[in-house]
Amino acid sequence: MNIFKDFTNPPLILAPMAGMADNAFRILCKNHGADIVYSEMISAKAVYYNDAKTFQLASFDSKETPLILQIFGSEPEILAYAAKKLFSLSHPCGIDINMGCPVHKIVSNGEGCALMKNPALVYEIVSRVREVLPPDIPVSVKIRKGIDSRTENFVQVALSAQKGGADFIALHGRTREQMYSGKADYDAIKQLKDTLKIKVIGNGDVVCTESYDNLVKTGCDGVMIGRGSFGNPFIFENIKRHRQNLPPLTPSVQEIKETIFNHIELALKYKSETVALRETRKHISCYLKGFHGSASLRNLVNRAETKKELYEIINSVKD
């Protein structure tokens, strides 16, 4: 399965973001023009031990396809088991292996970006996952530039993944040490694109049409958007309008309110009210950024415990 074949332009891809890229947000972004979406990170070890909540993370609606499930771990056999199990259960359009998460809890356990310390292990992981999946189902890897500025070994790691059978690589142009500070290095993405035989997805700092244009200049085969979509699922639609030389859509306050309501209802479709509202509050705070009195509005949102309360707060926002 070549998930790139139907796109004349680099596809716009919603990044895998723990606690943010859930079913509701993925559908919302798809409705606004995202071409491909990734799941939240799924623990391979939790799949191995049949954790029910973890399997919920792997469930998705047909409206979300093409969707790629992202798994994380450090043990080749367990990652391969999880990839095979998840594919047999939900038949995603691809399996991605996280080797770029910078969060301390993940890295300290030898997972995420910590895997970049060991290119030989990267090869072993990718080759084992590749072996257990149908040949037409793409296996991909998401990485960063390296652990820190002294060990920017992204090319070596990506070459190991390519040798192991990866179909494409997503590169976030920052090191683990940088987290989300500074600027994403688009030159690194271009270097990787010029080096690999497989496709490269560029990731980092795409927040508008100008940053999209700058990333596309690297020659990347796909554009991954993460934090730039928070409170702004319209970014996908506006990039597509930009490609057609159409003026951007600037949503009114009323349109943003309607998007928030839509987001809440989608969340409630997939989760209990308690969980849905708790997780959606993070998104609502992003939607409200820049509104008059947004700080006090966000405080109210973060204390709301029912759908009725949230609706009342959002309805109180004036045009």
Mean pLDDT, residues 107-114:
97
**pLDDT above 80: residue 6:** no
Kind of pairing, strands 168-172 and 139-144?
A: parallel
pLDDT band per the 50, 70, 90 thresholds, residue 1: low
Do 154 and 23 belong to one domain? Answer: yes
pLDDT tens digits for range 73-92: 999 999 999 999 999 999 99
pLDDT for res 76: 98
Q: What is the pLDDT of residue 167?
A: 97
Give the CATH number of the domain where residue 64 resides: 3.20.20.70
User: What pLDDT was estimated at residue 151?
Assistant: 93
Does the residue 25 lie in any domain?
yes
pLDDT in the model for residue 62: 92
Domain extent, residue 310, equals: 253-315
Q: The domain spanning residue 303 has which CATH number?
A: 1.10.1200
pLDDT (average), residues 244-264: 94
Q: Give the closest residue to 43 by CA, choosing from 33, 35, 55, 27.
A: 55
Number of H helices, E strands in the chain: 14, 8
For residue 144, list its beta bridge partners.
172
- 101 catalytic, yes or no? yes
> How many whole angstroms separate alpha carbon 234 and alpha carbon 201?
21
Is 80 exceeded by the pLDDT of residue 154? yes
Q: Assess whether 99 and 63 both reside in one domain.
A: yes
pLDDT at site 18: 92
What's the total number of domains in the chain?
Answer: 2
Domain identity same for 211 and 280: no
Average pLDDT over residues 271-286: 92
Using the structure block, give the residue that is written with the tokens 């790139």.
4
Q: Are residues 213 and 293 in the same domain?
A: no
Kindly state whether residues 186 and 276 are assigned to the same domain: no
Residue 81: predicted pLDDT = 98
Over the stretch 160-190, which tens digit does the pLDDT of each residue have? 999 999 999 999 999 999 999 999 999 999 9
91 lies in some domain: yes
What's the chain's average pLDDT?
95
Contact status, residue 121 vs residue 115, Cβ threshold 8 Å: yes
For residue 66, whether the previous peptide bond is cis, meaning omega lies within 30 degrees of 0, is yes
| pLDDT on residue 4 | 83
Does residue 173 fall inside a structural domain?
yes
Instruction: Please tell me which residue in 101, 208, 220, 286 is annotated as part of the active site.
Output: 101
Q: Does 311 lie in the same domain as 207?
A: no
What integer pLDDT is reported at residue 290 of this predicted model? 81
**Mean pLDDT of the region 239-258:** 94
